[in-house]
Amino acid sequence: MSKADQLFVTMCGNILEHGFSSEGQTVRAKWEDGTPAHTIKTFGVVNRYDLQEEFPALTLRPTAIKSAVDEILWIWQKKSNNINDLKSRIWDEWADEEGSIGKAYGYQMGVKYKFPHGEMDQVDNVLWQLRHTPYSRRIMTNIYNFSDLMEMGLEPCAYSMTFNVTGNKLNAILNQRSQDILTANNWNVVQYSVLIHMFAQVSGLVPGELVHVIADAHIYDRHVPVIKELIQRPQYPAPKFTLNPDIKDFYDFTVDDLKIEDYQKNPQIKNIPVAI
């Protein structure tokens, strides 16, 4: 059975059984009808995914893997902050009339800084270090730029990656300040797992472990019945994942270079309410 499923079931069970409810508190998020969107949350969730063991896509319900990867390439490869460069509509709520989400996500990835080895942006710095100083303990990115927060459509949820090479394995820690578990958890796990695969391939390494650290892991009140049904579903083996081995430059990857095989999964859950 998929270990990603097992981690998800355990995490959700812990949140539902031991989590803290925001009922009675003033909350920012609201449902479309204006009702406050309360949550049950757990602080400080840490999940570990061994990418040598399996590709961590849920089978409890399908994850739109290529759409998730399209978003991560929008941020890390295109370094865009305009939703017109993105195929899905997941960012529409936070964009202005021209499609911009302000100085958030991809914008921050494209800002250039001075490093000892030259002036470049955060993505190119990671790629340079993985090729030239792979055992450095300083290979990281951070897009939570306080000086630009007031000009962001949404403050970054997944805001920092720390890369670390052990032997020939590329590992990474994804830090996330907040996560809507039902709508975003496996989406983020899948897209950052693929990012590690891509970075490893173009750096002569193999993918190792993704450690996902979530400060505020929460389930919205209107998602509780869905989660309870979801974690009771049958579980299947994880799908097989491969990348086009001919790609040697990170900027050449497209979603068509992903190959997903034997993805056995439960039916999709439709019409999930989204808090804004």
Closest CA to 57 of 171, 249, 194, 159: 194
Active site residue 12: no
276 is in an annotated binding site: no
* Residue 270 within a domain: no
Q: Is 48 annotated as a binding residue?
A: no
Q: Confirm whether residue 52 is marked as ligand binding.
A: no
Cβ atoms within 10 Å of 137's Cβ, excluding its own: 10
187 CB-side CA count, 13 A: 16
Domain presence at residue 266: no
Q: Which of 218, 216, 219, 223 is nearest to 178 (CA)?
A: 216
H or E element in which residue 21 lies: strand 20-21
The per-residue pLDDT for 233 is 98
| Helices marked H in the chain | 3-18, 65-76, 106-110, 122-132, 181-202, 224-230
Which residue is catalytic, options 16, 29, 154, 157? 157
The domain that contains 154 carries what CATH number? 3.30.572.10
137 is in an annotated binding site: yes
Domain region containing 54: 3-261
**269 falls within a domain:** no
What is the pLDDT, as a whole number, of residue 276?
Answer: 85
| 85, 86, 87, 88 alpha-carbon torsion, rounded to 10° | -150
Confirm whether 276 is domain-assigned.
no
**CA distances from residue 165 to 55, 116, 173, 198 in whole angstroms, order as listed:** 19, 20, 12, 14
- Give the total number of structural domains in the chain: 1
With respect to residue 273, please indicate whether it lies within any of the assigned structural domains: no
Distance CA 186, CA 221 (A): 19
Asked if residue 272 is part of any domain, the answer here is: no
Amino acid letter at 53?
A: E
Whole-model pTM: value is 0.97
275 is in an annotated binding site: yes
Structure tokens at 104: 């958030």
Q: Which two tokens stand for residue 264?
A: 């056995």
Give pLDDT tens digits along the chain (276 positions). 899 999 999 999 999 999 999 999 999 999 999 999 999 999 999 999 999 999 999 999 999 999 999 999 999 999 999 999 999 999 998 999 999 999 999 999 999 999 999 999 999 999 999 999 999 999 999 999 999 999 999 999 999 999 999 999 999 999 999 999 999 999 999 999 999 999 999 999 999 999 999 999 999 999 999 999 999 999 999 999 999 999 999 999 999 999 999 999 999 999 899 888
On whether residue 274 sits in a domain, the answer given is no
* Cα–Cα distances in angstroms (integers) from residue 178 to residues 45, 155, 188, 212, 214, in the given order: 10, 10, 12, 12, 6
| In a domain? residue 33 | yes
Q: Evaluate whether 27 touches 36 at the Cβ level (below 8 Å).
A: yes
